[in-house]
Structure 1
Amino acid sequence: MELECYPTADRPPEIVPGRPQRAWMESFADRHPYRCLPLTMANTTGWEILCPMSFSAEWNGGVYQEDITLIPDNPHPDFHNFAKSHFSHGVITFHPGYLFRTPPGWSMMAQGPPNHVKDGIQPLAGLVETEWLPFPFTMNWIFTRPGRVSFRKGEPFCFITLVQDKPLAEFQPVIRPLARNADLMGQYTAWEKHRTEFNAKIYRGDPEATKEAWQRFYFRGEYPDAVAEPPKDHVNKRRLKAPKFGG
């Protein structure tokens, strides 16, 4: 399967597979947040589109386009086509520089990089039917308060991932008592028992638990007490393919 990326600019931004690293995760003692597999998997389940230059953006709180000021750190010939004040009301519009085409049944979710925290500004997410769309979309960020923010060269301003969104309408959410599912109830009870005992040991300063530091059932794709066969398709590291040039 192919994700077709057609440049719409002479020098389109670089696209790279999603990277697991986040500055705030790195700042924790022992890089503790990386033990949370859902975080790192979210970080890498898609591709990043990177800023081709560094620039600052400042919003004075007004509702007009001219109330946002965008200034590149250094002169860049593509800046005026890359980032703009288009929608007003504190919204910055980025042009990703590509027209994307996905296989039938697949759409593209364009959003901010997962778990990439940026003070004072919030990325907006959009779902795009790229299986047929013959023109590109924009990526937008909205200021959360008046002030100044910076985007650095090489920083992701857009994160794209693919979803089969049409079948979602076929799903019916159903709320059931956990006791109705005996197998799942047993698996949950075993996990809860281990979790409670492990946290109690950590609280008491138990040397063995302290050395272990965290439980790895989910990271390894295991059930506590081996109450069921482990999943064969569990993934704890994702490295997507980088774009290549094709005819």
Structure 2
Amino acid sequence: MILECYPTGERPPDIVPGRPQRAWMDAFAERHPYRCLPLTMANTTGWEILNPVGFTAEWNGGAHQDCITFTPDHPHPSFHDLVKSHFSRGVITFHTGYLFRTPPGWAMWCAGPPNHIKDGVQPLVGLVETDWLPFPFTMNWMFTRPGRIRFEKGEPFCFITLAPDQALQQTQPITKSLNKNPDLRDQYDAWYKSRSEFNSRLMKQDPEAMREAWQRFYFRGELPEEKGPAPKAHVNKRRLKPVKMGF
């Protein structure tokens, strides 16, 4: 499966596989958030488009394009092609620098980096039909209040991943009783019992539970009390391919 990335300018931003690290996650005691596998997997399930020059953006709260001002850290030949106020009303528009093409039936999910927190500005999310689109799209962020924000050099301003959007249209959600699936019921009950007992031991500062610190069933891809085979396709570290030069 190939994701084609066509630069639309002479100096397109760098694209790198999503990185697991987040500053706020590092700041926790013992880097506790990294124990949450869904967080780190989300952080790495896609590619980051990196900002080529640090800059400050300031919005005065007005509704017009000139109500946002952009100040790069130093002169950059393509800065004003990269970022501008296109939609006004506190929206910052980035040009990704690429036209993307995906295989038939696959669309591109365009968003801010997962779990990347920025005070004062919120990434907007788009789903783009890149299996046919012959022109690029933009990445947009919206100020949450008047003020000043920064994007550092090398900071991701866009996160792209792929979605089988055509298949989603054929998906039918159905609610079912756990009692109609005895194997899953047993597995859930075993997990619930183990989880409740472990948390109770933690509250009582049981030495063994304190040393263990957290249960690793999901991280390791294990089922409590061996209530069935472990999933063969479990992944606890994502390694996406870097962008390479085509022909």
Range of TM-score over shorter length:
over 0.9
- After superposition, residues 221-232 of structure 1 pair within 5 angstroms as 221-232=221-232
Tell me the distance in 2 between the aligned counterparts of 1:88 and 1:80: 15
How far residue 86 of structure 1 moved from its aligned partner, in angstroms, is: 0.3
How far residue 176 of structure 1 moved from its aligned partner, in angstroms, is: 2.0
The amino acid of 1:229's aligned partner reads P
Structure 2: 5+ residue runs without aligned partners?
none
How far residue 180 of structure 1 moved from its aligned partner, in angstroms, is: 2.1
* Count of aligned pairs between the two proteins: 247
Pairing 1:69–2:44 present: no
Q: Secondary structure at the match of 1:196?
A: helix
| 1:160 counterpart residue number | 160
| 2:209 counterpart residue number | 209
Q: Secondary structure at the match of 2:6?
A: strand
| 2:10 counterpart residue number | 10
Q: What is the alpha-carbon root mean square deviation over aligned residues?
A: 0.7
Structure 1: 5+ residue runs without aligned partners?
none
Q: Secondary structure at the match of 2:149?
A: strand
Q: Secondary structure at the match of 2:148?
A: strand
Tell me the distance in 2 between the aligned counterparts of 1:193 and 1:173: 28
Tell me the distance in 1 between the aligned counterparts of 2:23 and 2:17: 17
Judge which range, 180-189 or 190-199, deviates more: 180-189
How far residue 170 of structure 1 moved from its aligned partner, in angstroms, is: 1.2
Tell me the distance in 2 between the aligned counterparts of 1:28 and 1:4: 38
Tell me the distance in 2 between the aligned counterparts of 1:25 and 1:41: 14
How far residue 106 of structure 1 moved from its aligned partner, in angstroms, is: 0.9
CA offset digits 1:111-163 (Å, max 9, x no partner): 00000000010000100111111100000000111110000000000000011
Tell me the distance in 2 between the aligned counterparts of 1:139 and 1:25: 25
Tell me the distance in 2 between the aligned counterparts of 1:102 and 1:130: 6
| 1:23 counterpart residue number | 23
The amino acid of 1:223's aligned partner reads L
Q: Secondary structure at the match of 2:153?
A: coil
- After superposition, residues 1-247 of structure 1 pair within 5 angstroms as 1-247=1-247
Q: Secondary structure at the match of 1:187?
A: helix
CA offset digits 1:212-243 (Å, max 9, x no partner): 11000000000000001011000000010100
The amino acid of 2:161's aligned partner reads T
Tell me the distance in 1 between the aligned counterparts of 2:97 and 2:83: 11
Tell me the distance in 2 between the aligned counterparts of 1:66 and 1:127: 28
CA offset digits 1:194-221 (Å, max 9, x no partner): 0001001111111111111100000000
The amino acid of 1:233's aligned partner reads A
How far residue 178 of structure 1 moved from its aligned partner, in angstroms, is: 2.0
The amino acid of 2:209's aligned partner reads A
Tell me the distance in 1 between the aligned counterparts of 2:95 and 2:246: 23
The amino acid of 1:15's aligned partner reads I
The amino acid of 2:149's aligned partner reads V
Alignment TM-score, normalising by the size of structure 1: 0.99
The amino acid of 1:228's aligned partner reads G
CA offset digits 1:58-114 (Å, max 9, x no partner): 111111111111110111111010000000010000000000011111110010000
